[in-house]
Amino acid sequence: MRARLARMMAARIFPGAGWLGPLVERALPGVSRVLALSLFAAAVGLAAPMVTKALIDRGIMARDMQALVIWAAVGFALGLGVVGLGIVSQMAHLRASQAMLGDLRRTVLGAALARDPQAQALTVGEAQTRIDGDCAEIQRFLFDSGLVAVTALFRLVGGTALMLALDWRLALLPALAAPFELWFLSWARPRTQARAEEVREHRGGLSSQLAETFMLIPGLRALNAFGTRETGFGALQDDLFRAQERQRLWTEAVGAVSQILTAVVRSAVLLLGGWLVVTGSWPIGSLIAFLAYTGMMAGPLRNLLGLYHAQARAKVALARLSGIVDDAHDPAGGETCPLRPSLIRLQGARSPWGGHAPVALELRAGQGVLLDGPSGIGKSALLASLTGEVALAEGTTEIDGKPAATYSAASRREAITHVPQRPCILRGTLRDNLLVAAPDATDADCREVLGICDLLDWADAHRGLDTGLTELGATLSGGMRQRIAIARALLRPSGVLIFDESFSEIDAARCERILDAIDRACADRLRIFVAHSGAVRARSYDQRITLEAEPRPGVPLPMTRRAAV
């Protein structure tokens, strides 16, 4: 029942965004508690003007001191109740809102991490903007829209009933203004959405430039390009500020129309209600209560109409988030790839970049293989196709006799570990970096792979596995970063290890020691190397495969050179 209600709510608020249904379902208990508190607080608030009316008419105007004291005490108690309810309601709102926002961010982050590798690239800054700002926009609307709608309707219906009870003729005045305000907000809504899109676009560009700058500080310093970068950042920031100013000006103008309508209605009530009081046909307490309800009704009505505008802004954020979620692929789909494959076969395989001729390869467990060829010919892309990160331009890949696509992407990445030239070093401890891909490994396992990679003495000279590493390993040399990445790869149980220029910054003598240790420790695994120079190329391999350039039309296709050394 709850799941059906959640799906229905998500579909009504954002048609076509079915992925929001489970989020709404998980948030419903928290929203329900906040809603109950909000309705109770609204009921107390609706009672306040009637208490004020009784205090004035039955106490002050009737010159009844006892009634005055009683109604003053009731009003004070209501005031205390409103304060207490406000605190409890705000805390409940905060907790439920945080839970929903956290759930939404985790969902989008998971989708971003599971995006189809062939999908359009998403910059770091753009991803940050979407996961932070767009998630917050969607969460606010999803969480608050139901609360605002139900609470506003409750206050609107209750307040209207009380206004009708006070004087049905004056109650017609606010009703006359509502159609015009609805028409105006409908007219303004597309412009609100356009300005929201403009701000989101500029914010994403600025975040992307900022993230890129911090990642490229060494290169920019070498080029003495900080000044140029700061100028570019300033220009992007000015564009964002101007877009925000246009959005704020538009928002204020739209809000001003609603405020003017409220002022007109309030003035009309004062004139007509004041005339009724002057002529003696209406007590002054009723006028004061009616004015209070007029102000109270303006809020709920504006909130209901404002939801229509808020949805326009939220749709911009939803489109950006759906762009991430829709590109996510199911890592659990398909069969489980063998953790230690015996045979990988490529037939007529050609990577989409580099222009090498199609190749036919048979790679077996326990072999050491060097994949060679000119720089840029497509070696890395061909190897990345084994894990599904890159789709082959043509040809097929089989793992243990089955098409690679038969297996889930997650299990293929578990069976095949690809160590790139630029290592992934995370801020945290050395242990954190080793366990990120092998969370079940013990400290003894970690120390073993550190020994293989000639890192154990260095670690023990510092804080062992608790040695702190900075973001991107900025305080380490390139060779140190590569050795940590290699150690992390060895910690995984993968049957296939791909070292793609992974030793390029390690000195020759140390590289020889590490390679010998890897051969001893991983003799039963398939080890594939790519290297343009250094100790890696000088070693003996079971296969040495060279990718040839794609021949020109009319020129016979050369055979892929393969040598056993």
Per-residue model confidence as pLDDT tens digits over 205-254 = 887 777 777 776 767 776 677 788 788 888 888 998 999 899 889 888 88
Q: State the pairing for strand pair 543-546/561-563.
A: antiparallel
Q: How many other C-beta atoms lie within 10 A of the C-beta of residue 216?
A: 14
> What is d(CA 501, CA 495) in angstroms, rounded to the nearest whole number?
19
Q: Parallel, antiparallel, or unpaired: how do β-strands 343-350 and 359-364 relate?
A: antiparallel
Which of 281-290, 321-330, 403-412, 414-423 shows the lowest mean pLDDT across its residues?
A: 321-330
Residue 311 pLDDT greater than 80, yes or no: no
- How confident is the model at residue 328, as a pLDDT? 66
The phi and psi torsions of 281 (rounded to 5 degrees) equal -95, 0
Q: What value, to the nearest 5°, has the Cα angle with vertex 341 and ends 339 and 346? A: 130
Which residues have CB under 8 Å from 174's CB, separation 6+?
A: 163, 265, 294, 297, 298, 301
Lowest average pLDDT, out of 42-46, 98-102, 130-134, goes to 130-134
**Helix ranges, 167-225 (H):** 172-215, 217-222
Among candidate residues 405, 366, 378, the one with its CA nearest the CA of residue 545: 378
Which pLDDT does position 560 carry in this prediction?
Answer: 44
Relative to beta strand 416-419, strand 496-500 is parallel
Identify the band that residue 418 occupies on the pLDDT scale cut at 50, 70 and 90: very high
Provide the b/e sequence for 271-286 (b: ≥16 CB within 10 Å).
ebbeebbeeeebbbbb
Which of 372 and 309 is assigned the larger pLDDT? 372
- The least confident of 279-293, 337-351, 403-417, 461-475 is 279-293
For residue 247, give both structure tokens: 């959005």
241 Rama sector, left if φ>0, alpha if ψ -120 to 50, beta otherwise: alpha
Is 70 exceeded by the pLDDT of residue 164? yes
| The predicted structure's pLDDT at residue 110 | 80
The Cα–Cα gap between 54 and 441 comes to 73
Is 220 within 8 Å of 213 (Cβ atoms)? yes
This prediction's pTM: 0.64
Q: Given this model, what pLDDT does residue 558 score?
A: 41
**Poorest-pLDDT segment among 98-102, 172-176, 267-271, 551-555:** 551-555
Confidence at residue 303, expressed as pLDDT on a 0 to 100 scale: 67
| Distances from the Cα of 485 to the Cα of 26, 454, 461, 481, angstroms | 38, 12, 19, 6
Number of Cβ within 10 Å of residue 65's Cβ equals 10
**Mean pLDDT estimate for the chain:** 83
**What is the pLDDT, as a whole number, of residue 366?**
95
Q: Within 13 Å, how many C-alpha atoms sit on residue 156's CB side?
A: 17
Residues 5-22 pLDDT 10s: 777 777 777 777 778 888
- Please report the pLDDT score of residue 305 as a whole number: 63
Q: Is the pLDDT reported for residue 532 higher than 70?
A: yes
pLDDT at 450 over 80: yes
pLDDT at 559: 40
Query: Token pair for residue 424?
Result: 């992934």
Using the 8-state DSSP alphabet, how is residue 550 labeled? P
Provide the pLDDT for residue 565.
37
pLDDT at residue 274 is higher than 70: yes
Q: How far from the centroid of its chain's Cα atoms is residue 172's Cα? A: 47
Give φ, ψ of 259 to 5 degrees: -65, -35
Contact 519, 439 (CB under 8 A): no
Contact 124, 215 (CB under 8 A): yes
Q: How confident is the model at residue 333 (pLDDT cuts 50, 70, 90)?
A: low
Helix-strand-coil split of the chain, %, nearest 5: 65, 10, 25
In this structure, are residues 369 and 545 in contact, taking their beta carbons and an 8 Å threshold? yes
Q: Which of 265, 254, 342 is nearest to 297 (CA)?
A: 265
* pLDDT of 433 above 80: yes
Least confident of 47-51, 126-130, 141-145, 472-476: 126-130
pLDDT the model gives residue 23? 85
